[in-house]
Structure 1
Amino acid sequence: MSDAVHAPAPASPARSAPPATGRRRGIPTRTPHQVPGRGRMGGPLTGIPWALPAVLLVGVLLVYPFFRSVYGSLFEDNGFTSSFTGLDNYTRLADDPIFGRSLLNTVMWVAGTLLLPVAAGLAIAVATHRMRFGRLAQLVIVLPYAISGAATAVLWKFILTTDGALNEVLRAVGLDSLAQGWLLEWPQNTLSMIVASTWQATGLNVVLFAIGLNAIPRDTVEAAELDGAGGWRMFRHITLPQLRAVSVVVVGMAIVNSLKAFDMIWVLTQGGPARSSETLALTMYREAFRLFHVGYGSAIALVLSVIVVASSWMYLRRQMPGTSAPKS
């Protein structure tokens, strides 16, 4: 048997790695010019067609009426004929006692709707936050907010008239001397309407402050309790600072709503007696649409718009440091 010499088998050629292609199985390639999150219509102008309807709506409903009022305030216009008078309508404001009383009533509304509904809403929200039936109590207080301003005014007119429910109750308990015409004399007519507005507006403030209380971190409260904080100290140093963001919203809404108060005043007194309870919004409406002093009403509307924008801007600038100009 001869020895067979077995030559080693030739080595198989090494498999070469597939060429790098930029595409893996199941993963689409991306060309260098593509940007994640943008479609084929990428670019800074992509959103213009989508925003255009909203811009047109704001322009038609807000921007055009504003500039139309500015233009109309320079004319003496009765709805049929008009003549250019320049700034005469604005100089007339300074000498008009009705405008002065309306401005004073508007300031009273702003002060009243800041002190009463905001303070009452905060106090009720804090008092019922950990109460056993706190949610139920908050629901009862919120219910008046579901009623329209006109319906609320009708209800309070039944209460505040000379022969209304309030005077009847006072007479029934022997307090006849306190019974009076609550809506017949200034300033008690304005103060009475502020109370009626507070009854309706407090519910919304309770809801907003309750949301803010629920957002306060529990760890912060527990740490304060371990340090001995409680009662007034807890409210002043923990609760109130944590509610700052909500307070900005609540106070801002109260300012704007009080400056444009109309429906409740119109239903309760129609600005009377002798226009003593009018606010700027009501005076503007009466001058422009009842007495047909369109130019003068436009001047009042412009003054009211400036007051609303200026007061809101100053408040937000004071409460939100990010809106103030950086110091050099």
Structure 2
Amino acid sequence: MTRSPVLGRFRHGYVAPAAILVAVLLYAPFVWTAYLSLTRYDGLEPPAWVGLDNFVKLLGDPALLTSVRNTLIWVAGTMVLPVGLGLLVAVLSYDLRGGVWYRVPFMLPYALSGAGLAMVWSPVLSHDGIANLLLGVDTAFLQEAPQNTLAMLLVWTWQQLGVNTLLFVVGLQSIPKEPIEAARLDGASGWRLFRHVIWPLMRPLTAVVVGLALVASLKTFDIVWVLTQGGPGRNSETLAVTMYKETFVASEYGYGSAVAVLLTVVTGLASYLYLKRQVR
């Protein structure tokens, strides 16, 4: 089949609208943000060039270390809880009769937005909330670090568990039955079957699930903002919350843009290293 000379001549024109749209909606705002990160700008007066002063101030800010620590807790917790538990639920319910109905309760919270989910859990985790009444304790779940970050991570897990379970179920359904049946004939079952047969066959999908979870955890904002607004003080801030507070609360658009650039670089670098490792 020969290629039409007309299609070959104008092939770049077909992708031009999509490329222009991506450039306008993604790249142009990032370039503008990168420029603002090199200025002092309060949203009223014209931006004043200050070079790398915002980044120097950022690296010397004690709150940055807290934000980085909390962000790393979110990343590690996401790998263990939403991803790990999602895999566990998918595997345990896959061969069960009516297993889809066991997975439905895990899927329902994903229909809520992060902000809506946080509003549901706020009266549960407050100092005089439902959790303390049911457990018979007097614990300030959202008042002390790092337990406030861990409590919010459990809320995040409740939302994300369902979609991770669904993705892993799709991966299980895509596995050829022949290797599993052959392994069972050889006497493999339970953990040995999962570890040596099912898990290696699911590796490509697992890489996708973990990659998506990694990026989402680095950008965590809505649950933290609604439940604690980064407090008390600044002890539960993540990088995304720090960016928002500096930009839209303190009206330090230049400094907030510096935090945004740092968050973008961290997210991009983490994604690149992860994908490079998976490819290798």
Of structures 1 and 2, the one scoring higher in RCO (CA 8 A, sep 6+) is 2
Deviations 1:197-241 (A, max 9, x none): 001001001000001111111111011011111111111100110
Partner of 2:117: 152
Q: Does 1:102 align with 2:67?
A: yes
Decide which structure has the larger Cα Rg and report it.
1
Could you report, residue by residue, the CA deviation over 1:30-51 in whole angstroms, capped at 9, with x for unpaired residues?
Answer: xxxxxx35446132x4232221
From 224, 227, 248, give the equivalent of 1:265.
Answer: 224
In structure 1, which of residues 222, 243, 246 is the aligned counterpart of residue 205 of structure 2?
A: 246
- The structure 2 residue matched to 1:208, chosen from 156, 161, 167, is 167
Residue 19 (structure 2) aligned to one of 55, 67, 70: 55
Question: 1:153 Cα deviation (Å)?
Answer: 0.5
The reply to whether residue 236 of structure 1 matches residue 195 of structure 2 is yes
Which one of 74, 83, 89 corresponds to residue 124 of structure 1? 89
Shift >6 Å, 4+ stretches: none
What is the alpha-carbon distance in structure 2 between the residues aligned to residue 164 and residue 188 of structure 1? 16
**What value does the CA root-mean-square deviation take over the aligned residues?**
1.2
Q: Which runs of 5+ in 2 are unaligned?
A: none
The match for 1:140 among 105, 110, 119 is: 105
Aligned residues, how many? 279
Look up the equivalent residue of 2:250 and give its one-letter code. L
- 1:300 paired to 2:259: yes
Instruction: Give 1:142 shift.
Output: 1.1
| Residues 162-181 of structure 1: pairs in structure 2 closer than 5 A | 162-171=127-136, 178-181=137-140
Question: Gaps spanning 5+ residues in structure 1: where?
Answer: 1-35, 172-177, 322-328
Q: Distance in 2 between matches of 1:71 and 1:247?
A: 37
Instruction: State the secondary structure of the residue aligned to 1:195.
Output: helix
What letter corresponds to residue 86 of structure 2 in structure 1? G
The partner residue of 2:145 within 182, 186, 190 is 186
Correspondent of 1:70 among 34, 55, 77: 34
Residue identity matched to 2:246? E
Letter in 2 for 1:138: R
For residues 254-276 of structure 1, what are the alpha-carbon distances to aligned partners after superposition, in whole Å with 9 as ceiling and x for unaligned? 11100111111111111111121
Give 1 or 2: higher helix fraction.
2
* Amino acid corresponding to residue 63 of structure 2 in structure 1: I
Q: Percent identity between the aligned chains?
A: 47
Q: Give 1:133 deviation, angstroms.
A: 2.3
Q: What amino acid is the match of 2:58? A: L
State the match for 1:288 in structure 2: 247
